[in-house]
Structure 1
Amino acid sequence: MAALAWLLIPLLAAIGAGLWGSWANRTRSTRSDGPELDGYARFRKAMEKQP
């Protein structure tokens, strides 16, 4: 019975990690890359102006 309890610990940890991973990916997917791409475009334009 004690071995079964020790096997449940990694199982619960894996389930918790899967739930956290799906939640973290869900909140991150709503962000867009717009501001980063705009900043990169401004950087490229500034670099092209210099001799």
Structure 2
Amino acid sequence: MGVLLWLLIPVLAALAAVLYSGWALRTRKTGDVAELAGYARFREAMERAHSDSDAA
């Protein structure tokens, strides 16, 4: 019975690894829309800052 208990430990660890990897690789529904919009705002702000320094 002790041997089966020791065999159960790696089996449970493998099952936990499979569950974690499935959770970590799940498809997210949000997408990159918010990140791309933020990057566009950042670029616009940097272009404005760059054009302001050229005028000075």
TM-score normalised to the size of structure 1?
0.70
Q: Which residue of 2 aligns with 1:31?
A: 30
- Taking only aligned residues, the RMSD between alpha carbons, in angstroms, comes to 1.8
Larger Rg: 2
**Higher helix proportion, which one?**
1
Report 1:1-51 matches (<5 A). Answer: 1-26=1-26, 28-50=27-49, 51=53
Which consecutive segments of 4 or more residues in structure 1 shift more than 6 A?
none
* Cα distance in 1 between the residues matched to 2:17 and 2:30: 22
Superposition deviation, residue 10 in structure 1: 1.8
Q: Tell me how far 1:36 sits from its aligned partner.
A: 0.8
TM-score if structure 2 supplies the norm length?
A: 0.66
Where structure 2 has 5 or more consecutive residues not aligned to the other structure, the ranges are: none
Q: Percent identity?
A: 54
CA 25–31 in structure 1, closer or farther in 2 if over 3 Å, else same: farther
Q: Which runs of 5+ in 1 are unaligned?
A: none
